[in-house]
Amino acid sequence: MACGISKAGFLEQEAPRLENWLNKNQHGQMSYMENNFDKRLNPTLLVDGAKSVVSLLLNYYPSEIQNQESYKISKYAYGQDYHSVIKDKLKELLFSIQENIGAVDGRAFVDSAPILDKAWAAKSGLGWIGKNSNLLTQQVGSFYFIAELIIDLELEYDHVITDHCGTCTACIDSCPTEAIVAPYIVDGSKCISYFTIELKDNIPAEMKGKFDDWAFGCDICQDVCPWNKFSKPHNEPLFNPNPEILSMTKTDWEEITEETFKSVFKNSAVKRTKFEGFKRNINFIK
């Protein structure tokens, strides 16, 4: 786990970028991105008296990956749903702060509130936003979750680090749906992760043959990133995969029953698509 701290306040540079992204409908059907625009840019509107944003990274890179002759799910969804795992850790951290310092108020956030996680992590010096719009680090790449504690305690703040993408365009060149429309700009409505998780309608016919067997999420722009050569396996038992996820073949996925789906993905983020959504994805790409 890595930790960085920044002063809570208005994200001035992010405001026009977010507005432009929304105006171009690059969020597709993710209408929730239009809500709470001001809060998304200013955590002091989310937490009364907020002084500091404590950003945390938690590695999820697995020691084993799926059978290559299978439909693929994003590595972050191999183990238990990260929301509950990380929320518990953040509550422990806040309790520890209160125990050691005294009365400190705050809230824990794990990808479940209007917060620009990557922007805060970058502002806290934990990495830089790469051309694929993910937060990258020189030490361990980008396979980790980002979470925050927003607290009413003034702390010593970290500094932004420099961008180390250089002239590399591996992520842009490798995206099969051309979702990275320009360096640092991802059209969310063209992303495989969007189609397989967020989109509730039928997947557009013009995307047929472009999913590279991804049935839930997509890791292509991370897998090709040179910085991910430094990824190291996580040591969080709750993120260890259900062995069935690693061993199932395409035939197994195509014939999956609702009962098996619920058993294999009982505590997984994959539940978000529901059985019908997962079957839709498989049927589209097979």
Catalytic residues: 111
Residue 5: closest CA among 46, 61, 50: 50
Counting every residue, how long is the chain? 286
Residue 79: closest CA among 216, 218, 269, 257: 269
Query: Does residue 16 sit in helix, strand or coil?
Result: helix
Question: How many Å apart are CA 216 and CA 196, to the nearest integer?
Answer: 5
In contact, 114 and 40? CB cutoff 8 Å: yes
Residue the block writes with tokens 């190291």: 232
Question: How many Å apart are CA 141 and CA 201, to the nearest integer?
Answer: 33
